[in-house]
Structure 1
């Protein structure tokens, strides 16, 4: 009974602590979007926490296909039509064996546990087949300019298409009113001479890709040459790729060549050149010459290609402090052709090229105000923002360690959020800290003060102050270092009672280099020497950075007490209040003596109570059996002078008939009172 009570108290104490909250959680052990090939094996892996043995249900779309309770001796309930493919793992994961392509779907796992609600997780499974024997055909086989349309259709032996892309002359076919792209076909409305060329279809899925092409010739008569650049843009950026094409109408098709700067640049006479990774030096006029080999006619047409170089990245804004009095706003966006122009429209009308700085006096209206730098370039305008802000309130961070010389090292960090970044000043007892000695050292960024000494008492003698400042203001915080101390201490036993976990926290400004874990009770296995179980002894130590400790190999039938003693080298702080684990300790000798003395007193009190109850019952019965006589007026006046005796009832008036009581009854004189004694 004591053990059960202790377990209940431990459970209640555990849930009373911060963080005593249960929540049913389910998560994926891999991606939730799974692609696989037909005929393979794939697993939708999950894990859960928050409750043991929850109930699982897997859905394929809206249809439940598998149900089971984790740890149940019953086999999972798998839908009849899916038993050849689906398998449920012991942890609730779903495995597909030799998965067909029709098993592509959204699978949902719902996990339930009484009292904890429902947790769910969605997976997307896509099953693909590889492509084989892809070909494209033209309908109709002969295309003439002015006909209604022609259609390109692709066929394959088998495969699952996730994406299809059509290309014309190596360029992707974009949305256009004349092009109609559907699954399996490309239709060209109102074909003309410009539709002559090679059409390529690219079929893709995550596991295979295939391309097929067809050459289409649109018959047309002679016409003026057309010069095109694709993609068609007002200008091109450094590194872009573009294609120049020159076509002349005629049958047969005339030849064409391109010249740039007086030099022939086309590789042949097809009238198409591709410029990949174009440079700024390649900008200028390109001339196409079309020659009909049969007629001998020549025609010329030029096009201008403009190439700009985009500035690298995006504009970069920065803010600096000048003499801790003025603010210097800066903006940089370099590497462009032409150079980018930069300015701060919120501060001034002036501007600069590529790298622009502006210095202004610090003022309150700039505190928290965002300032935008606008970069202007033909490739596109871009902006960056910077906000000046005064230092915000902050909390110093204190860390403790031990250096190679065995000295205590206390590092105090003071960082305040501000823009431009703050400069930190340190004070000890109101005097500035130089920080260039062995015992006091200020870091290069001024944000860290490091103190060194062998005696923790010396470190506690002074109070320190850090001040973070920039041109817009300053903030200060005082640091009062404390000796070794522990702010919170808790004990968490494991289920079998052989392991406990101790956790503790340390005050923010406490100097702690280590902890002694102490225990009273039976010695742990492997102890070097036996000691009294009622005394505390250190079983092991932890470094100053530790906040928890595990004690193993405990006897569940024994009682132990644990506490933690903070240390700063050889100086000890106050130990924590002890926590106990194990069954009750039994009654002490004083308690047993008290119980022994109390038993006779309890019996005597019980007998007196029974006698009193018996007396009251007897007295009440005797009073109820005594004859009650009318009281004379004399006695009435003596006993109850304020109450009058009631007159006899009027019997004739009650019965309305003569009776023996119709005559007034004789007066009655009561006998003298008799003293009666009752023995209980």
Structure 2
């Protein structure tokens, strides 16, 4: 149902009595929006002699073949469809709530009448949804949906998928509060609070970011195997949000920070233990991996040269 344009049908009765038996149909409208009272009458070739609408017994509009009279306060807010007797009422206010009656006098035949009860409800404001940034491993995170009215229905979704109660998901205060337990990185998503009443619907959103890591770093060597007097690159990587900062140590001596350590021309003095440390200042986690280079001699490619082939021994520790 489109909340901006609510259509209702009036059950119209043909009777010999002046007003007949009026059938009440309760409908709901939203403050500031429109509604249309739609009859079940099909247009005919002969126009109605007259169509009249009233609310709570007070005149709204009467239209005859030759003239139309409208109550001044409805002049800019109503449109009468004479072919069917339907009435559009625009820019609803709370004062528009009440019983609406229609009386139609056909060119020939019996008088037709019908009624509907309209209840105008307040427009739902856009809800405010709060979900503070979180870190992986937190025991819980709480979402709050505030629309100023605890009576409105509230439903939660994550990336457009409905959320249901589980061992990790709980709802409090008539779904006003969503509690997520055992926070992990896969909980990063867009969360929506869908607020509705009988006539209106609004959505509030928030993007939950779960910070995590760094995971245990991995080190790659290029080229592998490496050769003495050639360039060697050690690359360190770790899954982390925000991205981790990297530092290197060689035999416990600090090196230039960064995810890569480059040796322009490899010689025997470069053999040993290289420690890559990944740090995430937001989560406070620091994780390291040790990478060991060992050398073994091979036959020389020339009479006065010696090629040192380095083999990679992976030693990982946290």
TM-score, normalised via structure 2 length: 0.35
Higher Rg of the two aligned structures:
1
Whichever structure has more strand as a proportion of its residues is 2
Higher helix proportion: 1
TM-score, length-scaled by structure 1: 0.20
